[in-house]
Every structure is written in C-alpha cells, then in structure tokens.
C-alpha cells in the first residue's frame, strides 16, 4: 500500500489518509480527484481493514460508478465493491431491503421517462386532454416542480391514501395541472412505480418514520464519500445528512468552477458552505493539474477568473510547455467548419489518430455545417448523445415534405402523411397499402382515389391532399428555402413542435432553413428543388455507424468528466455560447463555467473558433464574451479581429450586462404608480414584466402605451 501512496502527490495523500471526520476536497479540473477517491477506498479496505460493504461511494452517473468500481477492484482485488453507485441507485438498494416499511413490494418498478409518458398517455385519453393543454415534456416538468417545491409532502398522501381515494381525487380534478398530477400519482401507486424523485423521498420517509431502519443503515455505512459535490441538490443533501449521522465520517469532493447543473436543482452553496454546516471540517485543496499544458491552463484561469461568485483559485500546471491556444474567426459557419477540418487533417498528418480529437459545442444544431464539410472530405466522425443532423426526426420529416411535393414517393408519404395527426392511423394505412398493391399505384395515389370512401373522407385528409397538390403545382422556379418555410408552416408541422414545446427541434429546423438558403447562394439561379434533394441525399444516406477511430462530436454537458488530447470548441458566438436564453448574471456565470469545463477537457491542444452570420433567432453573430475574457497575450489569433467587429461585440456585451443589472434590481415601482420619464413626460404604469425587466406605461401625452426598460431612470410623481 505504501507503494500506492508514493504514486500520489502530497495533497492526494492527505486526502487518501484523512479517514476520520468531515473532509472537504476542492479539486480543480484534471487534479486527479477520481484517482484520490479510488485510492481512499482502497486505503480504507487494505490498510484500515474496513469491509467494502461498509463504505458508500456516491458518483453522479452510472457510467462514473462503473469506472470507479473497476478502479477499486484493480486496487483491492476484492469483488465486493460495496455501495459504489448514484444516490438513486443507493435508494433502490434501501427500498429493496426495507420497502415493507411503506407497504411496497420488493419488486417495485423504477420509472423512466418512457414509462412516465405511457402513464401520461393513459391520463390524457381518459380525461380528454391534448398536447395543447400541456406537452408531455412540460407535464413531466410540472410534476417534478410540484413534487419538489409546491407539494413536497405529496408522498405522504401517496402512501397514506387508499388507491380508490387517490383515484377519486384524480377523477374529481378539474384543472389540467391537477388532473395530470393526481392521475400520475394514481398510476404510480397502482403499479407500485417510483420515479427518481420518489426514490429519495421514500427513502427519507422510511428513515424519518423508522428509527431502527435508519440506525441500521447509519451503522452499516461507516464511511461515506461523495464525488461531484457541487452538483448536489436539496434532497440529496438531506439524505447525506441522515446517513452520516452516526459515524460522522463524510468525505466530499467537488469544484465550484464546474457547477453546470443549477437548472437541475444543483446548489453550489452546499460545497462552499460545507465548513459552516460541519464545524471542524478539514479542507484540502487539490489544484495541481495533470491533464493540460500550461498554455491551456493560463487561458482557462483567465476565463474563470471573470466570475465573481467563486473560490478564488488557479489551476497549477505540472506538464511541460506545449503549443499556443489558438483562436480563429471565420466569416461563415462553413468557413469555420473548413478551418477545423484543415487543422484536423494537419494533426492526422502528424500522426494524431482521429479518436484523439473532440469537437465540443453548446447546442446540437451547430453540427450541421461540420457534418457537411466532414462528409465531403471523408473525415470520420461520431456524434455522442445526439443523432447526426440529417438523421434527426424533424430534419427527416421536413425533407420528406419536400420529397412529397417533388416525387410523391411512398417512403416520404409513410413518414409524414400522419404528422401532424390527420386520421391516417394504422388501419387506414393498411387499407392504402393493400389498395396500392392491387392497383399498381403509389400510396399517395391510393389516397387520392379513395378520398370519397367514408374511411378517408375527412377534413384533415382532404387538406393534406390540397397542400401537396398546391405546392406541387407551384414550387418550380421558387427558392427552395421559401418553399420549405411555407410548407412547414402550412402543413402545421412547426405548430405541432411549438405545441409539444420542442424548442431544440425548432432550432434544428431553423438551422436546416439556413442551410438551404446557403446552398442556394452557392448555386446561384440554377438551384432547383430536385438539385437540393439530390445534394442533401449524400448527407442523409451517409454511413452513420459508430467508428472506433473517428473525431468525437458532442455537447459540453456530454463532455463533462471526459478528456481528449486535442479539443476544438466551436461556435463561440454571442447567442450560441453563451446561449441566447441566458437572461441573468448568475446564469451567465454558469455559461462561463460551462466554457471552462469545455476548455479544461483539452490535454495537448485547444482551438477556439467563432463565425459570422445569424443565430437561429435572427440576431447577427459576434464573437463570444468568453474570447474577450481571456487576456489577449494568452491566445494566438489566426488573424486580428476588425476594430468594428470588436466594437460591435463589446457594445452587445455591455448592453446585455445592463439588462442583467436591471433584472437583478427588479421593479422599483408598482402597477398604478404615476412616474415621470425624462423624454416622454408623466404617465401611469399599467403592467410590469419582471422577466423582460420592463414597465408598460401609458404616458399622458402619447396616445399608445410604451414598454420601458427597468434600466432607464424614472421618477415617482403625484397622481
């Protein structure tokens, strides 16, 4: 074991051997925290003689847990890895052992999103709800918000109420929210199902109500270790407090600069204030970075240093000097993708395998131009946690609509004839297939010929035929981009996505429209719909099988916890990264932490890039503030930015920061207040929109009301 300790640096050894009491490790990116956790577990087993089954080691993903178990097995040789798992997996273990305390069977059902959606489908059908009332995605969010924030004691009713009483509460509900919520609780109880929120709530309830069971688990878990502590939420924190209540041995590891899940309930204050909650806690700083070159670390230290709410610390380089961190500004997304491809080809010529290269981005829709360039150049790539752009459902649907008006082919028809819903379900499609086969015609022709049949003589079906025929007769000579926009609008497809609340899919469609427009510009007047469909078929029919030696494309969230020799962080544009949805200063600090996470994935080389053009919301693109956050000498620009572009970017940044300040300040007046404006004179506040940080004011001398930003000074005056 001594040999193993000698492999660790001083801070890691300190963490490994600090076995007793409350220990907080602030571990910077690439500092070897996973190594320290695994070695600490092995130290407790091999040297201290603690049984693996008496140690709880919590990670935040099942993948991380599996990797941790492998590491520990190699260090201990023991097949018993104890409780190395996520919080939810641990709660499943508790409930499987002690579910009798809540009258649940040992074989209860753990619900995933697909299970929840199936339950919602049943509820919607029973009570006549549609997606216009609420999409499934919003329904799941609503249920989670009610369980966590609005009705945190829901589980007590769920446990105490007889099934019939809960069913009656569901049947008597009138409001859509109540119908969905109580219907869901009823469905859960009926099948003994528990979702992720329930797992922790039920476990806490058992511990609260049954002292013997609580004490059993407290005594069993002699040592508790928790990784990624910056991502812990309120319920997980409560569970941790209970579990360490007997032996009082709690070891936590985290990095406040890598807090990127506040939207999921994570609260970094639990890490920052750990020493106040647990007096006498020992804090160990692990800042030595073994992953990245000094050049990369100097850049990321400068970036994250711009966040105000953090523990001030810098990553300390251990590796020798490497190459510069490169920044490239491109005049278009296509030029940016071409530059990245050029750099990758140069690396490959130097002997770097494709698998050592990762391209990271804020949102999946930015992959479109990358994929087009990579396919043309035959560069192998794999997209993680997301389908290739032209394989995404909404993209295939949109292209099928275009193919329908050009070719009326069966594949396209089957894909979109009932999307959105047009009463062309399985029964009617079987009829059409049989008719087409007997009469030697296409499915669309079969529908046209059968339209007077009572089976098909419906308004939605007739409207679909009119749509296809109108566009088919009129698309020739029109820009494809114009045809596509009109088709998606008049078909009701975009409206369907808006009703579903599928913003990511709408963003992807906006990117497709942009790609068509760019293709038209590159082709000139010769571009026809048929030309475009032939062009795009090259991409949609490409080999999408995952390849071992391929460039990895993924979002920054997906990349967390991973590392790559060479990293390209692309589309560093205002409105993309940081996201246009960022509306407050705390949210902007989270975006900056996300950029920090992205850049710290790089070991040997880091390239940053942006592009001009327009965002999916129509705003013009300027370089991201995160480029300007890094001191100029720390980046190697491929070319200097034009002064006008720098000014435009910095003006935009100043404007958004003033907006953030106004939002943070909140309204200074109430609806009904009389106020004076320096230009418009006196008026009355009619409405207040705190989210947009604006007052709606009807001024005495102006016939129509005006929306005035919080940031503009107003003076209260008499009414």
Q: Residues with catalytic annotation? A: 33-34, 227-228, 258, 601
Task: Supply 326's token pair.
Answer: 């490169």
> What does 505-556 look like in DSSP terms, one character per residue?
HHHHHHHHHHHHHHHHHHHGGG--HHHHHHHHHHHHTS-----SSSEEEEEH
Residue with tokens 């940044």: 653
Prior bond to 578 cis, omega within 30?
Answer: yes
CA distance 130 to 301: 50
Distance CA 103, CA 191 (A): 13
The β-bridge partners of 252 are 24, 226
Q: Which tokens go with 611?
A: 């592009």
| Inter-CA distances, 460 with 411, 417, 465, 492, Å | 20, 10, 9, 11
Structure tokens at 146: 């009610």
The C-alpha atoms of residue 402 and residue 485 are separated, in whole angstroms, by 10
Phi, psi values for residue 696, rounded to 5°: -100, 115
CA atoms within 13 A on the CB side of 270: 22
Query: CA separation (Å) from 686 to 672, 679, 717?
Result: 6, 18, 15
Cα angle: 643, vertex 711, 670; to 5 degrees? 165
CA distance 346 to 527: 34
Contacts of 196 (CB under 8 A, 6+ apart): 88
- Continuous segment of H or E residues that includes residue 499: helix 493-500
The distance in angstroms from the start CA to the end CA of the chain is 80
The kind and range of the H/E element at 124 are helix 113-127
Q: CB-based contacts of 304: which residues, under 8 Å, 6+ apart?
A: 257, 310, 592, 593, 596
Whose tokens are 């150049």? That residue is: 377
The Cβ of residue 160 has, within 10 Å, a number of other Cβ atoms equal to 9
């Amino acid at each position: 074991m001594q040999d193993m300790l000698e492999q660790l640096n001083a801070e890691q050894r300190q963490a490994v051997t600090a076995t007793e009491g409350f220990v907080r490790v602030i571990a910077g990116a690439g500092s070897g925290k996973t190594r320290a956790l695994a070695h600490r577990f092995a130290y407790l087993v091999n040297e201290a003689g603690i049984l693996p089954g008496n140690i709880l080691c919590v990670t935040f993903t099942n993948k991380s847990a599996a990797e941790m178990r492998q590491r520990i097995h190699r260090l201990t040789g023991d097949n018993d890895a104890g409780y190395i798992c996520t919080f939810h997996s641990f709660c499943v273990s508790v409930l499987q052992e002690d579910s009798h305390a809540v009258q649940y069977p040992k074989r209860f059902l753990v619900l995933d999103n697909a299970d929840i959606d199936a339950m919602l489908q049943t509820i919607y059908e029973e009570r006549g709800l549609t997606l216009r009332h609420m999409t499934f995605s919003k329904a799941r969010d609503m249920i989670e918000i009610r369980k966590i924030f609005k009705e945190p004691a829901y589980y007590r009713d769920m446990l105490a109420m007889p099934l019939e009483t809960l069913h009656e509460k569901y049947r008597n509900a009138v409001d859509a929210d109540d119908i969905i919520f109580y219907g869901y609780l009823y469905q859960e109880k009926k099948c003994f199902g528990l979702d992720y929120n329930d797992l922790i709530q039920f476990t806490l309830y058992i511990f609260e109500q049954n002292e013997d069971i609580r004490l059993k688990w407290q005594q069993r878990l002699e040592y508790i270790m928790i990784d990624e502590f910056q991502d812990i939420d309120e319920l997980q924190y409560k569970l941790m407090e209970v579990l360490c209540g007997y032996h009082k041995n709690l070891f936590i590891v985290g990095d406040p600069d890598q807090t990127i899940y506040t939207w999921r309930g994570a609260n970094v204050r639990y890490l920052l204030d750990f020493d106040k909650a647990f007096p006498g806690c020992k804090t160990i700083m692990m800042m030595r970075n073994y992953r990245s070159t000094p050049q990369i670390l100097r850049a990321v230290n400068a970036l994250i240093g711009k966040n105000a709410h953090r523990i001030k610390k810098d990553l300390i380089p251990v590796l020798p000097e490497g190459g510069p961190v490169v920044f490239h500004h491109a005049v278009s997304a296509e030029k940016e993708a071409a530059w990245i491809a050029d750099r990758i080809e140069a690396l490959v010529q130097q002997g770097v395998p494709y698998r050592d290269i990762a391209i990271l981005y804020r949102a999946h829709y930015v992959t479109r131009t990358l994929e087009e360039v990579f396919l043309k150049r035959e560069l192998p790539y794999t997209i993680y946690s997301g389908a290739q752009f032209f394989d995404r459902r909404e993209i295939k649907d949109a292209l099928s609509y275009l193919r329908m008006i050009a070719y009326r082919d069966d594949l396209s028809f089957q894909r979109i004839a009932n999307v959105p819903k047009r009463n062309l379900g399985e029964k009617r499609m079987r009829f059409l297939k049989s008719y087409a086969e007997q009469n030697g015609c296409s499915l669309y022709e079969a529908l046209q010929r059968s339209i007077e049949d009572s089976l098909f003589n419906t308004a939605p079906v007739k409207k679909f035929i009119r749509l296809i025929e109108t566009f088919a007769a009129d698309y020739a000579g029109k820009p494809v981009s114009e045809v596509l926009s009109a088709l998606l609008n008049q078909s009701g497809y975009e409206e369907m996505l808006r009703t579903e609340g599928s913003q990511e899919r709408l963003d992807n469609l906006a990117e497709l429209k942009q790609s068509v427009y760019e293709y038209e510009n590159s082709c000139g007047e010769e571009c026809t719909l048929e030309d475009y469909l032939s062009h795009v078929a090259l991409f949609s029919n490409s080999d999408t099988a995952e390849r071992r030696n391929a460039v990895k494309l993924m979002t920054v969230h997906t990349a967390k916890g991973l590392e790559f020799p060479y990293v390209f962080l692309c589309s560093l544009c205002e409105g993309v990264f940081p996201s246009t949805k960022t509306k407050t200063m705390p949210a902007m600090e989270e975006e900056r932490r996300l950029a920090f996470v992205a850049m710290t994935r790089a070991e040997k080389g880091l390239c940053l890039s942006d592009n001009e053009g327009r965002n999916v919301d129509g705003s013009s693109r300027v370089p991201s503030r995160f480029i300007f956050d890094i001191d100029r000498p720390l980046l190697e620009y491929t070319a200097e930015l034009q002064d006008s572009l720098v000014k435009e970017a910095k003006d935009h940044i100043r404007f958004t920061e003033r907006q953030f300040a106004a939002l943070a300040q909140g309204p200074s007046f109430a609806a009904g207040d009389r106020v004076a404006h320096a230009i418009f004179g006196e008026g009355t506040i009619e409405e207040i929109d705190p989210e947009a940080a604006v007052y709606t004011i009807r001024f005495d001398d102006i016939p129509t009301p005006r929306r005035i930003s919080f940031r503009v000074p107003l003076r209260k005056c008499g009414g």
